[in-house]
Chain A
Amino acid sequence: MSPGRSVSTLSTMIAPLAGGILIGLAATLRLWADGRAAGVSGALAGTLARGPEGRTPHARFLLGLVAAGGVLSLLGVPLAQGILPRSDAAMAASGLLVGMGARLAGGCTSGHGVCGLSRLSPRSLLAILIFMASGALSVVLTRALAGGRL
């Protein structure tokens, strides 16, 4: 196996699988400890607009996510290979759409994907399929509109 091929298997299969297992463990831990599913957008909404359960477990969960980034950064683990050519305006538009869409859909990829699919929720399956179809359309449009540089 040439070095290029084994690097590609690592980054396309092994690392994603390993990371996915950690994510699944984390979701189980959160549900066991807090009694709530690990949807990030739900935690965000719960922190920003105080829900009946109070902010703190949500906020702590989100802080943990941020801390993970800091830890990986300190360890010299790269979080990305290069950057998407997107202006601040495009990133802001993206954030707005994701934020509104997640609330309307009742979850994001962690809520519907990790938690919902694990429970065999038909709603979550529908949500995930639409996320992907819509996402695919978005990629096509972005490329068509500005050659992929927005």
Chain B
Amino acid sequence: MTSFASGLLFGLGLGLSGMTDPKKVVGFLDFFGGWDPSLAFVMGGAVLTHGLGLHLVKRDGKTLCRTESGRPEEASRGGKLVFGACVFGLGWGLGGYCPGPALVAAGAAGRQPLVFLAALAVGTLAAAKAAGSDCG
């Protein structure tokens, strides 16, 4: 139940922060045009809060930042990381969605997020299978 609750809370945060609005996301990435700094405040608020949480909250007697599991961000590195981030950014700037906000927007029955999500699933699976096939 807490998995669901954390998703719900995360989603409420995304929706209230304006991150489910592709125009706002594109506005943030529009550094050379009319720049909308909103995303910086979202990220700042989230990082400060979660950063504090990592040092204050304990699980099994250790603070969360010492939790060994759950570090997917360490899963990639080097050229793969750089290339992947470039590809991500191209898509992100084009559609104005990333996975989390798209799911929230889909929950509100938007058409664009649904199209995005269908393709997101395909892209995710394709990359996951490709990674799985070159083990070693």
| A residues whose Cβ falls under 8 Å from a Cβ of B | 11-13, 15-42, 44-45, 48-49, 56-58, 60-73, 77, 79-84, 86, 88, 90-119, 121, 123-124, 126-127, 130-143, 150
Q: Is the interface of A mostly helix, strand, loop or mixed?
A: helix
Q: Is the interface of B mostly helix, strand, loop or mixed?
A: helix
B14 to chain A, nearest CB (A): 7
Q: Which of B8-37 contact A (CB under 8 A)?
A: 8-24, 26, 29-33, 36-37
Query: Do A64 and B8 touch across chains, with their CB atoms under 8 A apart?
Result: yes
Q: 1/0 per residue B21-61: CB within 8 Å of A?
A: 11110100111110011111111111111111110010100
The residue that B2 contacts in the complex, of A33, A66, A118, with Cβ under 8 A, is: A33
In the complex, which residues of chain A have a beta carbon less than 8 angstroms from the beta carbon of B49?
A: 20-21, 23-25, 28
Query: Do A98 and B21 touch across chains, with their CB atoms under 8 A apart?
Result: no
| B residues whose Cβ falls under 8 Å from a Cβ of A | 1-24, 26, 29-33, 36-54, 57, 59, 64-65, 67, 69-77, 80-100, 102-110, 112, 115-129, 131-132
A74 to chain B, nearest CB (A): 9
In the complex, which residues of chain B have a beta carbon less than 8 angstroms from the beta carbon of A42?
A: 72
Query: Do A40 and B132 touch across chains, with their CB atoms under 8 A apart?
Result: no
Query: Do B44 and A140 touch across chains, with their CB atoms under 8 A apart?
Result: no
Bound together, the chains give a CA A101 to CA B94 distance in angstroms of 13
Known: A79-B20, A81-B23, A137-B93. A30 touches B6 (CB 8 A): yes
Known: A62-B103, A91-B95. A107 touches B46 (CB 8 A): no
In the complex, which residues of chain B have a beta carbon less than 8 angstroms from the beta carbon of A86?
A: 22, 94-96, 112
